[in-house]
Structure 1
Amino acid sequence: MAYMFGFFFGRTPLIKLSPKKTWEGFIGGFFATVVFGLLLSYVMSGYRCFVCPVEYNNDTNSFTVDCEPSDLFRLQEYNIPGVIQSVVGWKTVRMYPFQIHSIALSTFASLIGPFGGFFASGFKRAFKIKDFANTIPGHGGIMDRFDCQYLMATFVNVYIASFIRGPNPSKLIQQFLTLRPDQQLHIFNTLKSHLTDKGILTSALEDE
């Protein structure tokens, strides 16, 4: 979309390393990326093939993508700020929690991601080459088309690990088994007391 905005409305050069890139394309690409990110994440969150991990079914000898979607991919109702309510006339909106994350991902992809391309352009200019290869006629090589992915892939990995991915029971058990016996006993007693206070463990089970 940045290319389309730049092609039709581009007038102001953005950076000398990439003379064909314009401010109009940069700003237009930002808004288009956020909007398309919201729309696509809404559509794709409704299909299990996009939100469920691929698992092998021993009974049918086939791969399946059937699961119970996490809360991240379930519609929830959010209150709209008062200022926006007066404009749109709505008090609440139903959307997937992942759509909120898509705004952060889209913002980084459109504002920071292109600097990966600027870095690649500077690298090519330093070595006085036009493209990394000529695999794609008129567009250079594969690296020329995916130069922004250096920054984007790193950001997505860090973002998922920091804000999206929750605790994994299997990994927690593995880490628990690597602890010393006294540490395991301490965790066991703490967890037992917590579950008892919550009423999850019955008094009869506690006596055993």
Structure 2
Amino acid sequence: MTIPCKTTITTKETLSEIPGTWQLTDYRSIMSAAGFTDGDTISEAETREMTLMALADLDPSEAATVLLSYRLADDLSDGQIDQISHDMQNDKIFEEYPEIGLHRHLFDANQLLRLAYNGKFPNGVAVLVEATVQLTGPDAPTELTAGLALRALAPALSDRSLIKRLYAADLESSTPFEAADNILWELTATPDSNAPGTFAVRLISSEYWLQDLADSGEFEGEIVLPEVVEE
């Protein structure tokens, strides 16, 4: 089933780091893994600076191993972590790694290492988008999933967009767009209580996926709703 959709992009901005990624407990754990302790009295800002110093005191590959082990020990083997810790010094692993579900974690680690080593690691860019999505009709969903959000953004993407080239079938299919949850790193879609089918959307993804998204404007089209499977 298809329904009319109007997407209005209000802002699009780039981020070198995603706010709130690293918390005080994260910094303390990373420092401990790097062989440092901070005590409990210094501020979060001071703890962050000490964390960067602790990482910088290590060899770059050792520092990368500390961060990757902290974030991805449950997802990667020791051998994979060792390989990535060397590769990420020269390559944008946060864009190139075949498991896109790990891209956000690799991006976060890369950007913290880049700060610690004054630009030695490749620069990553995230994209923050704020938009309004209006779905029209009696069958308009009450929740905007990542898959529906990407379908709503499709008219604002250029034809050379990586999403359109790799996921053309998912954008037009009546089945759930499963990869969307990994493409969109953060998504908040707040329903408008006065306008059913309308959502205020805030999302974050990689420039790798959204560099060809329009900076602003209104875009209309139709999106396909996933079929509801009755049990």
Give the TM bin, normalised by the shorter chain: under 0.3
Structure number with the bigger relative contact order (C-alpha 8 A, sep ≥ 6) is: 2
TM-score normalised by the chain length of structure 2: 0.18
Q: Which has the higher helix share?
A: 1
TM-score normalised by the chain length of structure 1: 0.19
Higher CA-based Rg: 1
